[in-house]
Structure 1
């Protein structure tokens, strides 16, 4: 037994002092002992501290112990009580029994008997605590189980595991121990949370979690949704349930607008809310799928609330001067062409155009046709120059005009390097490959295909042009980079050789040592000793 709080109440100061001195409170596990001399003082103690056990005199001039305990029973029902009195009148005992006191002691008090009674009272309090804890744990378990059941139901419904027909839904709801009013309407709202793509951004993972937590908290705080489903690491679905058509939908939209406004205190993040339309449960999935399409097609707006019913379905169809661009590609007017394309795509954001992902796709197909035509004229086959990653999945992770523009300009630069190698190609593909290998050398699984995919080139083609430019194969150059890194770590750090091996992308220590000796004529230990005089 431990951490119990006791309050002693008696209008006679010496009586209180006698109880305080006569009982071994520490031995009983009492953490705090409070005293009061009238009803008002006692009530103040209760209002400021948790009290487990009340020891009170009955006959007090400013409010009896009976009155005090009646008040305690109304406000702090879990507190146990023992009465102390100099009156043996059964009327007092009867009142005490009604108020569920544990015992009734007559003065003068036998402190040994009182201590024994207090110990029994504390045992009862501890037993109640344990029982309440078990009950609370059980209720929490039930709550978690129900929450998991509901989450599973919603995910299975959204993923199509559960059929959306009315009859099937009734059957599945029963199996998930769930039910809804037959007239219930559901309003889905999807949040797409975007994070900074800046590689130099520190604490990214932590801030991403905090931002998602902020969005969930704000939506919950506004009591907008009772069900929250995580669709992906960057997508949350909020389901708002109503028993009748909402008349305050504009007010609800303004609450999401407010959350968007508040979210801007996170400078490296943004969020778009997509508000669906109210529908019965069997139509909900189709509305959610419309929201997903709306999100996919939104490549312009950030930090905005977008309503499904206000969405303009017409897609902007890009029209660009193909013949002019093609001529500039053929003549090698690289800088002029880059400027033209940059200006053209940037204008999409400044004009009132309904630019969508479909607009990206249409432009991309036409643009690639020009690229392939130019390569053909130069005697190059697109599938032997570019990687499958570019040809098949080029737009897979692009969801903004800025990202799309960067991607198109990158492909153009890449093409011009291959078709006009005599041009000034600062920050060329070879430079980018070298930088990529330097930054990822510690990855022991790094392959030629990984490196080629990074610059969207066919691995065989990259190998040929890399060797032509550098005199090294990709694997030989990567090994050279790793060996140089190993030398620097051996000289300038006290890291163990096995750790340095891992830092340089080698999980096999013996293989690393062999390669190092082939490169320097010394094993790593000998090299460190020769250069620094140290042996770590």
Structure 2
């Protein structure tokens, strides 16, 4: 039997206990994932727990139940919402219908009524889940939903095989609506290592994730979704360049949803934004590179190449695949894959019957690409090669491809160390700026993760990953801890009212400040102050 999770929200703890005892949740196919005492806390918990059902009271401090429901529906379209209240008023019921609540129940809650409500919801949840997992339906959907001509057009664009002068003709002939004005390609890569016990083969798992992507992303981002070389490609249309940060956050939420709904481990690699269909192949190139960074930042998340490699330009495109692969491994920071890429390159050179002239051209292109890469990644090339001004002739004097490989390995490893150190310094600088911003603006009541991401000009998904990796805390937890530290200092050194201290540390509502303080220290601000002063 499928099991679903429930998040309870009410400011009275005894209500939790009554609801939890009224039903045999496990036998009904549900479990209580947690409970929150107000809407603000519930939103934070929902991001972590990803509940299937949220059951909430209307009248609560800091954020009422109706506002909570609206925000939940905006963030998690599939969540089922039950509202229970002591208010038997038409306006409340009408508002509940407007926000697509599953049920509106009046207190006191009757056990039989509550059981019937959850039985109905489970039927709907099972139906939705079965539709996504039903192998026959997935196969039928796949066979019927992909017009061959359009699929070929999209993949040809990605491969850069359509001349720019011919693109408009194909768009009209195949009745394709790609008006932009901006585009970005995303690669949805499904990991196959350590797969979960999913009763579906990899091919149909790809179909399941693709179908979910079309359901969740098509309307908002006007996407085109195709399968390509084992991955899923999403071609999104943007109204402006800056909206790519919001798109990145949506893709991050999608990866987590795919994990929960399809049991698939998905990494979303997001390429550079472009303004011409002929540049989609370059955006795809960046998106493919972005998925490689999952070895550093983990999977089940969105990775934007512009945030990983800000210096990488959408106009860059290495003509020779083997040189591109070597420099890509330099970026990744791992020695063994770099050595393998160099060995593959020199091995291919040894097999190829190449004229002396072609060999000289190849060495010249190799050195040019290395220096272009170094320039784009702020590598000090003098530290790599010394003050040697005649590298070309030095490389030509090497007597074998093995000798060239050894020379290339030595210098690429020097570059690799610089790239790794630069990335670490950049990440630390990134987090340091965020921490300094908190210290300067913690009293700002509007300070939020959106505020600081706007200041840093990054997506919330990338910021959250890096910040937690470096500090061990989420941004919200860090901000709360810092505000509480300042509040304690003010309590013990200043003779001011609690509401004044609350305002000084960024809380507009003194009651909510007291609630957070008590949650942090186990007692109210006044008792904490009395206890500390009494110890002196």
User: One fold, TM greater than 0.5?
Assistant: no
Q: In which range does the TM-score fall when normalised by the shorter chain? A: 0.3 to 0.5
Larger RCO: Structure 1 or Structure 2 (Cα < 8 Å, ≥ 6 residues apart)?
2
Larger radius of gyration: 1
TM-score by length of 1: 0.34
- Give the TM-score of the pair, scaled to structure 2: 0.34
Task: Report the structure, 1 or 2, having the larger helix content.
Answer: 2
